[in-house]
Structure 1
Amino acid sequence: MSAPAVTLADDFNATVAAGHPAVFRWVKMIDEAFAPGIATALEGSGHSMTLDGQYGGAIAKVGEELETVEAGLAEIGICQSLFDPAKLAVQNVTYYTPFVSDDPRLVSELMDDLHGSDPRMTEAYTQNGVVYLGGPVGIDDYLLMTTFPVESLADLDGKKIAAPGPAINWLSGTGAVGVSGNLTTYYNELKAGVYDGVIVFASAALPGKLYEVAPNITRAGLGAQYAGALCANADWYDDLPQEVQAALNAGADAAKEWYLSALEGAVETSFKVMGENGATITDASDEMRAAWAAGMDNAAKSWAEGLDATGVPGTEVLALYMNAMRDAGATPLRDWDKE
Structure 2
Amino acid sequence: MKRLLSALLATAVLAGASLTARAETVDITMAAGHPPVFRWVKHANQTFIPAVNKALEGSGITVNWSEQYGGSIAKVGGVLEAVEEGLAEVGLVSSLFEAAKLAPQNVTYFTPFVSSNATAISELMDRLHEENAELRKSWEENNLEYLGAAIGIDDYLLMTTFPVNSLDDLKGKKIGAPGPAVNWLKGTGAIGVSGNLTTYYNEISTGVYDGVIVFATAAVPGKLYEVAPYVTKVGFGAQYAGGIAANKEWFDAQPEALQNALRRGGVAQREAYHKDLDQAITASLEAIRANGGTVTEVSPEFRMKWAAGMENVAKAWAAQLDGEGKPGSSVLSAYMDAMRKDGATPVRDWDKE
TM-score range, shorter chain: over 0.9
1:222 deviates by: 0.2
Structure 2 residue identity aligned to 1:272: E
- Aligned sequence identity (%): 58
Instruction: Please give the secondary structure, in 2, of the residue aligned with 1:221.
Output: coil
Structure 1 residue identity aligned to 2:274: L
Instruction: Please give the secondary structure, in 2, of the residue aligned with 1:223.
Output: coil
1:137 corresponds in structure 2 to: 151
Instruction: Provide the rounded CA distance (Å) in 2 between the counterparts of 1:165 and 1:238.
Output: 31
1:192 deviates by: 4.0
2:136 corresponds in structure 1 to: 122
1:260 deviates by: 1.2
Instruction: Provide the rounded CA distance (Å) in 1 between the counterparts of 2:140 and 2:203.
Output: 40
CA, structure 1 residues 101+232, in 2 after alignment: closer, same or farther (shift >3 Å)?
Answer: same
- 1:1-339 equivalent positions in 2, closer than 5 A: 1=9, 2-3=11-12, 5=16, 7=20, 10-339=24-353
2:3 corresponds in structure 1 to: none
Instruction: Provide the rounded CA distance (Å) in 1 between the counterparts of 2:197 and 2:84.
Output: 27
1:236 deviates by: 1.6
1:295 deviates by: 0.8
Instruction: Provide the rounded CA distance (Å) in 1 between the counterparts of 2:72 and 2:226.
Output: 32
Q: Deviations over 1:20-40 (max 9, x none)?
A: 222222222221111110111
Q: Give the conservation status (yes or no) of the 8 Å contact 2:96–2:179.
A: yes
Which sections of structure 2, spanning at least 5 residues, go unmatched?
1-8
CA, structure 1 residues 3+191, in 2 after alignment: closer, same or farther (shift >3 Å)?
Answer: closer
Q: Give the conservation status (yes or no) of the 8 Å contact 2:173–2:191.
A: yes
- In the superposition, the TM-score normalised over structure 2's length comes to 0.90
Structure 1 residue identity aligned to 2:309: G
Higher deviation after alignment, 189-198 or 93-102: 189-198
Alignment: residue pair count: 339
Instruction: Provide the rounded CA distance (Å) in 1 between the counterparts of 2:324 and 2:247.
Output: 25
Q: Deviations over 1:61-90 (max 9, x none)?
A: 222222222222221111221111111111
Structure 1 residue identity aligned to 2:281: V
Instruction: Please give the secondary structure, in 2, of the residue aligned with 1:57.
Output: coil
1:92 deviates by: 0.7
Instruction: Provide the rounded CA distance (Å) in 1 between the counterparts of 2:71 and 2:291.
Output: 33
Instruction: Please give the secondary structure, in 2, of the residue aligned with 1:151.
Output: coil
- In the superposition, the TM-score normalised over structure 1's length comes to 0.94
Instruction: Provide the rounded CA distance (Å) in 1 between the counterparts of 2:264 and 2:304.
Output: 41
Q: Deviations over 1:121-140 (max 9, x none)?
A: 10011111110011112211
CA, structure 1 residues 160+264, in 2 after alignment: closer, same or farther (shift >3 Å)?
Answer: same
